[in-house]
Amino acid sequence: MTSFHPYIIRSVCRLFCTAIISLTVSAAQAQYRSIYEIQYTAAADGGSPYHGQLLNCSGGVVAYKMVRTVPRLVLHDPAHPDGWGGIQVKDRYNLTNYFDGIEVGDWVELQNVQVEDHRGTTFLQILKVNNPILTVVSRGHPVPAALLLDPNEIAAPLPDAYGDYYVADHAAEKYESMLVRVANVQVARMGLGKAQDNYELCSLENPTCCWAADYYNDDLEAFALYYDGVESGQKLCVVEGMLEQYKNISTGFDYYQLMTLCADHLQFPSPADVNDDCAVDMLDYAIFSGFWLEPGCGSSPVCVRLDCNQDTILDLVDLASFVNEWLDGAGE
């Protein structure tokens, strides 16, 4: 019977075990994880169970594409419209052109991307060393409608005794990187957050608030902290955007912020909505008719608001403008 030296046997075993491990890793990478699988977590801190792993993702519909600052895609899986259905794909070092040719409405599939929880938000990182591949599977998908939430569902952080701001819990984690909206709110405090560019949106229907920011807004003027018209006391019919978490315990912050992405994501009350209830209806018409053809309209702030051509009298020109806003509530 042929015998082998123990060294040879050990070497063969090592090679065999290495081959098995290699095949296992390859098989794991060959599997495609859904956005839901990557995002869903029961962890108290909201971290992804795949943090640090290199994997493939079955992807979703491009809901937003950012080409300035750090390029990124926001993907949405329509199979999960109520939570855990959004994720951001980021080219951290902005050294590649992997997003070229990809447009909003495309379904994008990803290979060899690294899951990273950065400052609280879960990203799929595009790192050239990993040879990532982004494939447009199909085009022309509808962009998902923003999920209507109460501000309390993405609640603002609370200050502690040291002036730090932390959320009470991470219940809002399920909405991370999804398009969400809040309605009938008012801007309260401003100058909040890490960069002092967050503002508080408080419901006009209940005593709850959330935080928002315009940093990602494509229509934000250069060097401006807030979109034009966002000021304390301003009522807004709708504020829409992508929800993102910012977490840096060492600097005293852990909060969720609704990031507006364009001008249309901030809907201000129409000039015809005199009582600012985000609806142009009979209540507003009653106020309008009270000023009808009255001279000296300029003496009343309400009348000035309704006087679209500022000729100090409400006439047929102003009525036509009012009717154009009828049963609507949001201005441009």
Spell out the domain ranges in the chain: 1-30, 32-138, 147-267, 282-324
State the fold for domain 32-138: OB fold (Dihydrolipoamide Acetyltransferase, E2P) (2.40.50)
Q: How many CB atoms lie within 10 A of CB 63?
A: 21
CATH C-level class of 147-267? mainly beta
Asked whether the beta carbons of 275 and 286 are under 8 A apart, the reply is: no
Looking at this protein, which amino acid is placed at residue 254?
D
* Average pLDDT value for the chain: 89
CB-based contact 288:274 (threshold 8 Å): yes
Say yes or no to pLDDT of 295 above 90. Answer: no
pLDDT value at 68 more than 80: no
Q: What is the pLDDT of residue 271?
A: 84
What are the backbone dihedrals phi and psi of residue 125, each rounded to the nearest 5 degrees, phi first?
Answer: -90, 135
147-267: same fold as 32-138?
yes
User: Among 105, 101, 99, 126, which Cα is nearest to 63's?
Assistant: 105
H helices, E strands: number in the chain: 5, 16
* Pair 126, 83: CB distance under 8 Å: no
Which distant-in-sequence residues (6+ apart) come within 8 Å of 172 by Cβ?
153, 154, 155, 243, 245, 256
Percent of the chain with pLDDT over 90: 66
CA distance 220 to 229: 11
Q: Are 64 and 242 in contact (CB under 8 A)?
A: yes
Beta bridge partners of 125: 90, 114
Asked whether residue 23 carries a pLDDT value surpassing 50, the answer given is no
Mean pLDDT value of segment 106-113: 98
In which region does residue 221 sit, left (phi positive, over 0), alpha (psi from -120 to 50) or beta (all else)?
beta
3-state class of 199 per DSSP? strand
What is the 8-class DSSP label of residue 126? -
Q: What is the predicted pLDDT for the residue at 216? A: 94
Mean pLDDT of 39-51: 94
Tokens of 91: 């080219």
Residues 72-97 pLDDT 10s: 999 999 999 999 999 999 987 876 78
